[in-house]
Amino acid sequence: MFDAVAPRYDLLNRLLSLGVDRRWRREAIRALDLRPGDTLLDVCGGTGDLAFEAERQVPGVITFNVDLSRRMLARYGARAKQRGAAARAVVADAMRLPLAADAAQAAVIGFGIRNVSDRLAALAEIHRALAGGGRLAVLEFALPEAGAVRGPYLLYLRQVMPRIAGLLSPCPAAYRYLGESILAFPKPAEFAALIERAGFASVSWRPLSFGVAVRYLATKASRW
């Protein structure tokens, strides 16, 4: 499915979010408090939006993109080449990361954990790959709690978004799946509890854009 949507993935991200997705990504990267020389693991990194945002905010950060879709990573490589940036990426499963333990100082997963079959296993793998004191930021869609936003948002997910995607995407079914997967995803407090179960500490979450998206933040405890 992601191979099919790769050619127009970035265009539809901007269009369907009215460009707000860029602000969400800036927020997630800022929350990681990266430093030059840090290695950032971008899980389900796709076409590289979060990796590029990290490199923009913190020159000298080392990004490593992991994704199952070869075509998404090919798109990432082409974008990196256009920017004159290094493209560090590997085709791999989020539940079996090809990194040694304690290899990264930070990790991010943007709108990808929703698509992983065993979310706890993926979170535990990210925890393993992070060094002590490393931080994880997760961006994911949510269903707003406020009725004034919830109703129009449901209409958008079920009716408007699939029709727009049907006109522009080579795989309209992917955007029907998107709406269904958002509705099926755990509520923020439940997902935060899952992050804790994976071994993370200091788990917090912050609603973005009236609760349409949520930024989660967690830390791997340092070893003493």
Q: Has this prediction a pTM greater than 0.85?
A: yes
For residues 140 and 166, the answer to whether their CB atoms sit within 8 Å is no
Task: Give the strand pairing for 89-91 and 201-208.
Answer: unpaired
Query: Of 64-73, 115-124, 143-152, which range is least confident?
Result: 143-152
141 and 185 in contact (C-beta within 8 Å)? yes
For the ranges 96-100, 134-138, 144-148, which has the lowest average pLDDT? 144-148
List, for residues 176-212, the tens digit of each pLDDT value.
778 888 899 999 999 999 999 999 999 999 999 999 9
Domain definitions of the chain by residue range: 2-144+186-219
With contact defined as beta carbons under 8 Å apart, do 41 and 73 qualify? no
- The CATH superfamily of 2-144+186-219 is Vaccinia Virus protein VP39 (3.40.50.150)
At residue 224, does pLDDT exceed 60? Answer: no
Question: What are the strands, taking DSSP E only, across the chain?
Answer: 39-43, 62-67, 89-91, 104-110, 130-141, 201-208, 213-219
Distance CA 127, CA 134 (A): 9
Q: 3-28, pLDDT tens digit by residue?
A: 887 777 787 778 778 889 999 999 99
pLDDT of residue 169: 67
The pLDDT of residue 48 is above 60: yes
